[in-house]
Structure 1
Amino acid sequence: MTEIDSDKQQTETHSRPVLAKSPMRTLRRWFLVTLIFAMGGVAVAQRGYWRNRDRSLPMDRNGVPTWEVDPKFPKDCFTFVRIEYDSYGGRGRRGGGCWTDYPDSDLNFSLRLQQLTSLKVNPDPVVIRLTDDELYDYPFIYIIEPGGLSFSDEEVKALRRYCLNGGFLMVDDFWGDSQYENMRYELKRVFPDRDPFELPLSHEIFHIVYDLKEKPQVPAINSARRGRDGSIGSWEWSFDGSDTSTPHYRAITDDEDRIMVLICHNTDLGDGWEREGEDQWYFDEFSVKKAYPMGINIVTYAMTH
């Protein structure tokens, strides 16, 4: 097992590469994963809670190293894209909103993709809205904490078109029945003729790079618990009192059975990315074993299908 060098020398900051418009599958053809089988050592970014709704990244990247994009492939570069959305309370209430875990989770996950796969990764994740023209430049988008999310009619149309034209949406970090019902309701507006279904553990998304033996559940760092008997509490409590002890990975697929939308419910993969530098036990138990392996599997699936 190899160890990540968390003190990797930081290269000089460079301007953000521009991803030219091209078909989504152009990016996918460059994706051949070469895996480093484990991640150890201390982590990179410390938590810097981000309340400023500014899409720009902090100048110091919160301590996350940057790197140069291969000039031979300037247009074939994976960019982590967070979707900015509006919350109106919704059916799930108490949704934390689109800026949860930003920017540390996005920066850390981009770094780990760069380190642990052969994917060419943009060091600068971006934030866009579903109605932005550049949406179709990116084959992968991420929505977090949708418990209070409410799509506009224009966003409904844009997301439907995006997914049916080959895009992939990952939804993460929401807990309990009420918050799921809110997300299900909004996605039903996007796909009136399609319903989410539970993915079996045998589905390739759980094995495509890392061979996962269970569906991973990652709690926020403040909710992770260790019992004296060695047991681990890996779920967060929901405000509506519903059972959150079981993680769910549900999908909406196209007519060719390709996953268009992956719904990660009763789990918080983003916190496993964001908070990796704060506690060694949390890093070892949740970032290394669950959050990064599942995240890498998801991106691998999205970029190869």
Structure 2
Amino acid sequence: MRLILVVTGLLYCCLFLGHSAEFKIGRLKYSGGGDWYASPTAIPNWLKWLRQDLGMQTASDEILVDLQSDLLYQVHILFATGHGNISFSPEEARNLRRYLLAGGFLFVNDSYGMDSYFRRSIKTVFPDKTLEPVSSEHPIYRVRYNLPGLPKIHEHDGEPAQGFALYHEGRMLVFYVYSSDIGDGLEDVGVHPNPLSLREKAFQMISNLTYFRLHPEVLF
């Protein structure tokens, strides 16, 4: 299984990312009327942090991606966030499924109010799969920074932070964070009233997620 995950990652890089060595993050411009554009400074800060913390060569800004664009295959991580409705047309669902099965990765951040819509919509992409809770012992929380689980950045209604995932043949395709709002913690200082200690946890979590996405073999 470990060999399969390594080979899948290498094939993805070769087939879809071309010769560019820059790490790229795409912001998903989804349908449904939700605010896909929320947390506008999160991705630039995420990329800047990766350059500082992991010494990575990255793009300087996000790439805006819709599910009918060839740009989909130019990003290492596809990021979706918002506070409301998210939906996929049948064609968009097929395209997202192909991207993920070909080696892509979707990180979904519920900024509050997205949960029921996302759960419904991801079922149109993978009707045969169910979002599974991600244990606090999972490597995605420990691969670089040893976190006790998913950090809770924004209180919202006080529910505990929860991570969920979809898998295919042992590889994580989708990582969904609920009642955590990592995106808030990545934004510029002053945008949200988060203490620096919580911002630090958000950036540590995003390092873990990025490293795990690039090294899925750490599962074994």
Range into which the TM-score falls when normalised by the shorter chain: 0.7 to 0.9
Q: Which residue of 1 aligns with 2:178?
A: 265
* Structure 2 residue 49 is the aligned partner of structure 1 residue 118: no
Distance 1:245 1:111 in 2: 30
Among 199, 202, 205, the residue aligned to 2:140: 205
Q: Which residue of 1 aligns with 2:160?
A: 246
Among 232, 236, 247, the residue aligned to 2:156: 236
Q: CA RMSD in A?
A: 2.3
Distance 2:191 2:117 in 1: 33
TM-score (norm 1): 0.63
Question: What amino acid maps onto 1:246 in structure 2?
Answer: P
Q: Does the 8 A contact of 1:272 with 1:283 survive in 2?
A: no
Distance 2:104 2:79 in 1: 11
Could you report, residue by residue, the CA deviation over 1:168-205 in whole angstroms, capped at 9, with x for unpaired residues?
000003336xx422211100110011100101011100
Distance 2:135 2:204 in 1: 17
Distance 1:215 1:106 in 2: 19
Among 26, 30, 46, the residue aligned to 1:81: 26
Distance 2:212 2:45 in 1: 20
Distance 1:138 1:280 in 2: 27
TM-score (norm 2): 0.85
Q: Which residue of 2 aligns with 1:107?
A: 44
Among 9, 17, 36, the residue aligned to 1:98: 36
1:1-305 equivalent positions in 2, closer than 5 A: 23-26=11-14, 75-88=20-33, 95=34, 97-102=35-40, 104-145=41-82, 147-175=84-112, 179-219=114-154, 235-237=155-157, 244-255=158-169, 257-275=170-188, 277-278=189-190, 282-288=194-200, 290-305=201-216
1:126 to partner: Cα distance: 1.2
Distance 1:142 1:281 in 2: 23
Could you report, residue by residue, the CA deviation over 1:227-256 in whole angstroms, capped at 9, with x for unpaired residues?
xxxxxxxx113xxxxxx421110000011x
Structure 1 residues without counterparts, runs of 5 or longer: 1-21, 28-73, 89-94, 220-234, 238-243
1:26 to partner: Cα distance: 4.4
Q: Which residue of 1 aligns with 2:3?
A: none
Structure with larger Rg: 1
Q: Percent of counterpart pairs with the same letter?
A: 26
Structure 2 residues without counterparts, runs of 5 or longer: 1-9
Q: Does the 8 A contact of 1:85 with 1:149 survive in 2?
A: yes
Distance 1:203 1:142 in 2: 21
Distance 1:112 1:291 in 2: 11
What secondary structure sits across from 2:146 in the alignment?
coil
Question: What amino acid maps onto 2:28 in structure 1?
Answer: I
Give the 4+ runs in structure 1 shifted more than 6 A: none
